[in-house]
Structures are given as structure tokens and as C-alpha cells.
Amino acid sequence: MPIRGGLPPRNPRFVGREGLLADVRGLLGNGPVVLLPSADHQLGGTGRTQLAVEYAYRYAETYDLVWWIPAEQTAGMRAALVGLAQELRLPEARDINRTLGAVRDALSRGEPYRNWLVVFENANRPEDIKPYLPSGAGHVLVTSRNPRWTTEVAQAVPVPVFDRTDSVDFLRRRSPDLSAVDAERLAERLGDVPMALDEAAAVRSAAGWSVDDYLRRYDERAAELAFPTPIRVAWGLAADGLAETSPAAFELLELSAFLASAPVSWELLWAARGLASPELARTVRIERRLKAAMRLIGRYGLADLDPPGGSLVVHPLVRGMLGQQLSSERHAVLLRTVRAMLAAADPGDPDNPTHWPRYAEIVPHLVHSDVLGGDAEEIRHLVINCVRYLYAGGDYDSSRDLATQAVARWRDSLGETDEQTLLASFHLANALRAVGRTADARALNAQTLRSQREVLGGDDEQTLATANSVGADLRMQGHFGQARQLDADNLVRYRRLFGESFPTALRCANNLAADLRLLGDFRGARALDEQVLRHRQMIFVDGHPETLSSRAGLAFDLYGLGDYPAAAELLAAAGHFDTLGPDHPMALWAGRFAAMAARRSGRPDAGALATTNAELYRQKFGDLNVETLGAMVSLAHCARDAGDLDEAHRLLERAVARYHAVLGDEHPFTLAAGADLAGVVRATGRYAEARTIDQEALGGLRRSVGADHPFTLSCANGLAADLVALGEGQPAREIALDTLTRSRSVRGGDHPDTLACAFNVALDAGDDQSAEAAIEELQKVYGEGHPLLARARSGVRLETEIEPPPL
């Protein structure tokens, strides 16, 4: 049996279409096939979806995998593809676009399944699905109402109405007591249109109408319409029949005119129990009555129900016809009800994964119900929560698109300084930063913060949240000092307003610790991280991501202080990182820091740890992500220690180029990576080239982070080595002595890098006694047998590589 995902139930009453099924089977071998309505029924109703479902079941045994993807809306399509990624056991990237690209590529390669069928249902915008269409040995089947499909994308197969034999067969299967003559009469009047035939069969069965009675009603209804078509007339009779039998069920159906073609669960409809008319409210407020009304809608052929009867799907044609027959007053009433229903179904806390299934059900209906135009605060808050849900789930593009629409609409209707407009702007900036538009995010955040401070005040919780986001922008720009100043001010406000154990206050403290690490103040960062960790352990369960974030940050603090065994011990003792999954951001941080500590401790497994970590980062975040580049730098250091200078040079050269592209030429990380690259160039004997790189990096670091920053001290140590190798002893000694003095002041005399600088100064001066004393101190730090000691004893100058902290 093939693996199946999202496949609708098979239609037990499917008839005919043998020629079409054979044609589709043959054409799929040449590339994607799109099923379109025939030219004389361009609105649909000819059975495209049913044909696709039948094909999937009939030929299922020839596939290893069959996956059904609702493609009417981008968010729903992306969610279905993420589910496919999980089935394919692909690592889920933080950016959902990387996950979707990985799905396409895995299917195209035939890994792990060579024979697969992917069906995109209701893909009415070819440009939306084109980026996700796989190639390879598998098959892609599409259903669409849009005729604008080119042969470059898919082969078009028009789906016509039934031939008369199939119409008669279809009707008699639905009603076994129906004579062939009566079936022929019905089929002729209904033009052999599958959807019209289905509705006629359903309403006759539900209402108990005879063929003569039905045809009489049909003619009367057709005479009332200016442009009667079989679908419009048959639908009208079914709707009238349902309204006569159950006004409440019909009103429930009317609500679907403002919902999408996605499944609508009874839980979602149940949210309308206090909002609907008295007649409908009586039905909706009791689960048993609500489900009975949903079944009745299905019996009249006006919606499809899933097998348990918990969700219904209304055909787009039915939704369209429902909307057309509403008066303007009725339209306004129902639209308000649907918007309020969706808001009432909002579970809140969109960062909580347990709430994501409900948000996944709500999001497809936002467009059809035009919630952006809602005039109630709770409806706009639903939009904001959906923006955040999409962001939290990694669908940054959809989050950005929804936030962009919200900001544009609300600026016009509410004003630029409205509280919810500003909140939507804050979330839009987050999404912009996530998709790489950092300059746009920075400008929007700055504008939003100014407005919030003027309108809401500096102590408002929303203002503080935006200020935190501005701090992230400053870190990304390399303005670490400004970020520290802003975050320190935020922390004072948070603690005064909410107390120091409040979760968002702890996040702010966590951000301030990150600022201190970036500034090289590892003692200050350690004190703050230890404090935050204690509070988080008191308020969160074991293994909570925020607690693990504090552990990881504290481990980097210990590394920065030169206590490599303690850093490794903390990461190993935490033990909880594994529970998050190997590609969770906190697990990736811990993996990188563990590799760094292992390398500094001289362990032989450091290279393997760094290799695994860098690949996981690349899969999760992509090649141009700042954290991926940090992992690449760590891997390069391992390669250098292993003697593979070519690999170390390749990795660092690539890292420098990408830092330039992502952060700019003057960012401290770009300059630090350049200093690391100079170290590898120096190791290959190209001292003049290394000096050029180091001089440029050192000047930039002194300007950006100051002469006492650890990055600057490491770079200066490298430049002194360049000058020694080039025979420029005097300037080399001056730089080396200045670096040692600063390192003792900033890092302490017993820090491993300070001891390395002391050894280098003694070596340059020919002071064997001082050099031996430095080696003895290094042995206390690293332990006997460490490779660094062997290098020092052989008279080789010691390097002090730079490891960029997380931004």
C-alpha cells in the first residue's frame, strides 16, 4: 500500500470517465497535467476534483507515495507541503521556503520514493505552485478553474460533462429504483452536468420528490431566472429544499459564502453559538444539533462531509451562488457573524504549538471573510495573532504578506498611530527581518517605536516589545553598544512594571546578556545569564526552549572567559537539548558551542562535531544566515587545527564573502572573519597578504568595537605575527606588548588568550624563561598533552582565533 496524505475519501458513486482516466495516465509520463473545465462550462461543475480523486485511488498501487495538496490558498498549500516534508524525513528549516524547496528537490531526485503522485487541488494561480512543482520519475496532477496554464508548466486536459450513458448510470447508482427512462429524462434536462446531476439526485433522495415533481419544480425555477443553467437551477432547488426542511441548516450554509473551500469543522462553527440569529443559535449551541445540521446540508448535496461528519467542504460554485442571492442587508449581517465567529474561535497565544491546528483551520478563511475590514478590535486582534502564528511556524512569507495587508488597510481606516496599526507594523518588521529585508525592518521598527512612545508611552508593553526588536536590529547592524544601552533601559522598565521574573522581562535580560557577549564583556554576560537561568528554571518546566537558551548563552560566556571544560560540562549536563530535535535553534547553538569547547580542549572529535553542526545549520537556515556563517567559521578552525589549511581557507574565504553580503563590509563579524582568514593565509607562508588583510580588519575593528574588544586583540595578535615573519621586529613588538597589556586588563592574566599573547611576546624577545613560564601556565589551563603546548615548545607563535557569538 502506498503512503497517503490528505487524500479525500473515494467516491463510491463514481462512474465512467474511462477514456479520460487513460488519457491522464498516459500524459502524466510526459510531465504535469492540469484538469480544467471544458470551454462551455468554464465556471466548473464538470467533476475535475472527483476525476483526480478517482485517479489517485485507481492507480495508487503503482505509486510509493500519494499526497493531496489543497492549493486554493498559499498558506494551506505550504502547510500540506510541510506535512510532506515530515513524511520524507526532511529537516524542517526555520524558513519554510527552504523546507518547501527541499521537498521539491527530494521528489525530483526520487529520494526516498521514486514513484510518487502529488495532486494540487484548486490551483487557480499557476505562478503560486510553479516554484514547488517537482520533476523526476513521479507524477504531478493539478485541478484548476484558470485556463491560463501554459504548456511549459502543465499539459491541459479539459474535463467535459458526462456522456448520456454515464449520466444515466450515475443517477441510477444514486437511486437504484430509478428507471432508465426517468434517468434519461433527468439527464437531458440537466445537460449531463455532473454537479447538477449530483444535486438533483441528492435533493430527490432527501426531500422524497418524484421525477415528475422534480422536473416540474426545475422548469418553474428555470423560468424565474434570467440566465438559467443546469447547475444554477439544480442548486436553487437543493437550497430551497434545505431551507424548507431546516431554516437553521440553511442559515448555517449561508455562512459558508464567506468562508473558503477549506474544511470547516464543527468546532469552528460552534464558535458562532452566541453570535447567530436565535433560530441558528439554538442549533449551533448544542453539538449534537450542529452535527445533525451539517449532515443535512450534505444530504441535500450542498457540501461534502468527511467520513466522521466533523467537517464540511462547500464547493466554490455553491459559495458563489449563495453570495449572489443575498440582499445587501443580509450580506452585511452574515459577514459580521462570520468575522465574529472566527474571532471567537481564536485560541490566543499563537506562539504555543498546541494552538497551531486551530490557527491552521482559521487562516484559510481570512481572505473570504475580509477580516481585515472588520471594525471590531477582537477581529483585528485575530489578524495579528494569525500573523504571529504564521511567523512562529516558519512561514515568514505568508506572515509578511498578511501583515503588509493589515498595515496598509488599517493605516487608511484607523490611522498610522492607531494601537493595532502599530502592533501590526511591529510584526511586519519581524517578518521582513526574517525574509532578509533587514534594512526595511530596521526603518519600520524605528518609525513604529517613535510612534508608540508618543502615543502609548515608553512603559507600554507593546512599546517595550518594539524596543526589544529595535535592539535586534542594532545588533544586526553591528551597533552593539547602542543595543546594550537600549536593552538596559528596557530591562529597567520591564522589571519596574512586571517584576524580574516576568517572562518578557527575562527575555529582555537575555537580550542584554547577548549585547554584553558581543561587546566582549563575558563576566557581565555570565552574571546576567546565571540570574536569568535561575528564574527560568523556577517558572518553566525542564527542557523549555527559553531555559535551554539561557544554558547555551551561559556556555558561551564560560567559553569567552576561557573556561572550556566548564562550558563543555554545562552543555553535556543540560542533556535536554536532544529533546528539542537536532535542528532546533537551541540545539544548534549547543552543538556549535560544544564543538568549539571540544576544539579548545584538544579533543579529537571536535572536527566531526563541527561538521555535523555546520551541515545542520545550512539545512535549517541556509547558506546566507549569520548563524550558519558562525558555524562555518568554527568548522574552519577545526580544519586548520587538523592541518587541512586548504579546507580552512576555502571555508573562511566563503564566510568572509557571505558576511560582506549579509552584514556589510564594516560589521565586526565580517572584519573578525577576515582576521581569521588572515591566520590561515599566514600559516601558508603568505605573510604580506596576511598583513594586508589584518591591517584592514584591525582598523575596522578599532573603529567599530574599540581597541580593547577581544576581536580587536585577536586581530592585533595576528598582525604582530605577520610583521615578525616579514622581519619588521620593532613594530611587531610594540603591537604585541600593547595587545598583552590590554588583554590582561580586559580578559585577565590567566585567560588562555592572554597567556598566548604573553608567550608570543617572550618568544619575540628571545626571553626563554618568560616563555617557559607562560607554557607552564598554559599547561594548567589546557592540561598536559594538549596540541597547543607542543606547538609552543617547538617555538611556534600561538594564534588566538575569533569565534563570533550568536547575534
Kindly report, residue by residue over 611-627, the tens digit of the pLDDT: 999 999 988 888 988 99
CATH code linked to domain 661-793: 1.25.40.10
All three cell numbers of 612, joined, read 555535523
**Average pLDDT of the chain, as a whole number:** 92
Are 186 and 168 within 8 A, CB to CB? no
- Burial per residue of 539-560, b for 16 or more beta-carbon CB atoms within 10 angstroms, e otherwise: ebeeebebbbbbbbbbbbbbbb
pLDDT digits (tens, 9 = 90+) for 704-736: 999 999 999 999 999 999 999 999 999 999 999
Question: What is the model's pLDDT at position 395?
Answer: 84
Select from 3.30.1700.10, 1.20.210.10, 1.25.40.10, 2.40.128.20 the CATH code of 390-573. 1.25.40.10
Other CB atoms within 10 A of residue 109 CB: 13
Residue 475 has pLDDT above 60, yes or no: yes
With bands split at pLDDT 50, 70 and 90, how would you rate the model's confidence at 577? low
Judge residue 435's burial from the number of C-beta atoms within 10 Å of its C-beta, 0-12 exposed, 13-18 middle, 19 or more buried: middle
Residues of the chain with CATH 3.40.50.300: 3-160
Q: Is the pTM of this model over 0.85?
A: no
Residue 675 has pLDDT above 60, yes or no: yes
- Burial per residue of 707-740, b for 16 or more beta-carbon CB atoms within 10 angstroms, e otherwise: eebbbbbbbbbbbbbbbbbeeeeeebbebbeebb
Select from 1.10.10.60, 3.30.360.10, 3.40.50.300, 3.40.50.720 the CATH code of 3-160. 3.40.50.300
Residue matched to cell numbers 466522521: 308
With bands split at pLDDT 50, 70 and 90, how would you rate the model's confidence at 23? very high
Judge residue 40's burial from the number of C-beta atoms within 10 Å of its C-beta, 0-12 exposed, 13-18 middle, 19 or more buried: exposed
Least confident of 93-102, 400-409, 702-711: 93-102
Question: What is the model's pLDDT at position 633?
Answer: 98
Residues of the chain with CATH 1.25.40.10: 390-573, 661-793
DSSP code at position 804: P
- Pseudo-torsion of CA 12, 18, 22, 23, nearest 10°? -110
Question: What is the model's pLDDT at position 574?
Answer: 53
Tell me the mean pLDDT in the region 209-222: 95
Cα separation of 642 and 638, whole Å? 6
Residue 43 has pLDDT above 80, yes or no: no
With bands split at pLDDT 50, 70 and 90, how would you rate the model's confidence at 647? very high
The beta strands (E) that lie in 492-535 are given as none
Cα separation of 302 and 281, whole Å? 21
